[in-house]
Amino acid sequence: MAIVEVKVPQLSESVAEATLLQWKKKVGEAVSADEILIEIETDKVVLETPAPAGGVITEILQADGATVVAEQVIARIDTAAVAGAAAPAAAPAAAAPTPAPAPAAAAAASTSKAGVAMPAAAKLMADNNLASGSVAGTGKDGRVTKGDVLGAMAAPKVAAPVAAPTGAPTKALPQVQVAGPNLGDRPEERVPMTRLRARIAERLLQSQSTNAILTTFNEVNMAPVMEMRKKFQEKFEKEHGVKLGFMSFFVKAAVHALKKYPVLNASVDGNDIVYHGYFDIGIAVGSPRGLVVPILRNADQMSFADVEKKIAEYGQKAKDGKLGIEEMSGGTFSISNGGVFGSMLSTPIINPPQSAILGVHATKDRAVVENGQIVIRPINYLAMSYDHRIIDGREAVLGLVAMKEALEDPARLLFDI
């Protein structure tokens, strides 16, 4: 027998613990080397943990939902075993039967692990003030799982029977159900936040409590960008193998403005203002597990094709839950495109430690006045939230105007004017 341990992979320095999501294999099943066994969620990313060797899973030490740390052993694989192998032959009939354990010993053996809560279940019980032993376990050896706790919390509460006075005739008292809200046909479901969702909530609250957030707005005539895109779309896609979208224009326009007004690309560190000499643009992307912001490194050095390819790559990775920690770390400025979902106007929240964020919205035909005439133009409302502690209204407004001018005359991006 050759046993190989399955361990939690190394986590980043800022991540202390993680949560096991769902085992893809059970005890006794065969696995191949590098086959994904389980996904482990941190407050930043979801890590796929592969089998270190091929064989049969002989033991799973931590169940779904358990809280784990880096290098912790969570399962064991027997590399010499074969899945479905026959169990050892039974003892000959003539052999003397094994004496049955004493009742007390048998009870102790069967209950030694019963009622023991798994780490995630124990934490959930503590958070909801549930006494130890109050939840029946359905896990291996009677262990209490996270699902057991959630089920117990959702079940209707029943009042404990009242003891009869000493010496009084014993009489069964009816169990009284504690009154609760009568939801009728309006069901509710209580689901704990994932680590990623809890981290997002923490950062948003941090941003609003530590930044002096103010938002400025402007409208952009997107006709020049739309005309250029229509003119070169076919050739662009044929040449670069990716479609020419609008986000590359917004990224380039943002970099154009950040170069003119460097404080928009700065951050606060204590009583210091840190001016970054590079342009790492975060692109807010929705994923099944929540909002993530992967970074376009050195966006000023990227071509339109480079930007479009990277955004497409990040979008697919976010959908598959495969974004790495290094792809979401850092960033000096962010862009949030609510327009893809139909948003007309919003006040985006700054992504700390950055000091500004651009909100892009849906482009719609609107009546505008040009040279004293009412005309129809495709208009996009831009919103830029900024930290008023270091960015004055002048720089914020002029920065947004610089983005507007670059989008309304894309040739400016070519000549950097």
Instruction: Give the residue numbers marked as catalytic.
Output: 388, 392
Q: What's the pTM value of the predicted model, to 2 decimals?
A: 0.63
In order of 156, 181, 190, 293, the CA distances from 187 in angstroms are 13, 11, 10, 34
Q: Where on the phi/psi map is residue 354: left (φ > 0), alpha (ψ -120 to 50), or beta?
A: beta
- Of 120-124, 143-147, 168-172, 211-215, least confident by mean pLDDT is 168-172
Assign 181 a pLDDT band (cuts: 50, 70, 90): low
pLDDT recorded at residue 139: 67
Q: Which residues contact 191 (CB under 8 A, 6 or more apart)?
A: none
pLDDT recorded at residue 108: 45
- The stretch 118-134 carries a mean pLDDT of 71
- The stretch 389-410 carries a mean pLDDT of 96
Q: What tens digit of pLDDT does each residue of 44-95 get?
A: 677 888 899 989 999 999 988 888 888 899 999 988 876 655 444 444 444 4
**CA 199 to CA 44: how far, in whole Å?**
7
| pLDDT exceeds cutoff 90 at 179 | no
Cα(first)–Cα(last) distance of the chain, in Å?
A: 71
- The stretch 311-332 carries a mean pLDDT of 87
Confirm if 366 and 312 have CB atoms less than 8 A apart.
no
Quick check: helix, strand or coil at residue 377? strand
Q: What tens digit of pLDDT does each residue of 197-252 get?
A: 887 788 889 898 899 999 999 999 999 999 999 999 999 999 999 999 999 999 99
Domains in the chain, please, with CATH?
Answer: 3-78 (2.40.50.100), 213-414 (3.30.559.10)
The full DSSP string for 380-411 is EEEEEEEETTT--HHHHHHHHHHHHHHHHSTH
Q: What tens digit of pLDDT does each residue of 187-201 get?
A: 888 888 877 788 778
pLDDT recorded at residue 18: 85
- The stretch 378-405 carries a mean pLDDT of 97
- Of 41-45, 115-119, 177-181, least confident by mean pLDDT is 177-181
In order of 90, 100, 101, 282, the CA distances from 142 in angstroms are 27, 22, 20, 47
- Of 179-183, 192-196, 312-316, least confident by mean pLDDT is 179-183
Confirm if 135 and 147 have CB atoms less than 8 A apart.
no
pLDDT recorded at residue 104: 46
Assign 167 a pLDDT band (cuts: 50, 70, 90): very low
pLDDT recorded at residue 102: 47
Quick check: helix, strand or coil at residue 327? helix
Number of H helices, E strands in the chain: 10, 19
Nearest CA among 177, 231, 253, 301 for reference residue 406 = 253
**CA 263 to CA 258: how far, in whole Å?**
8
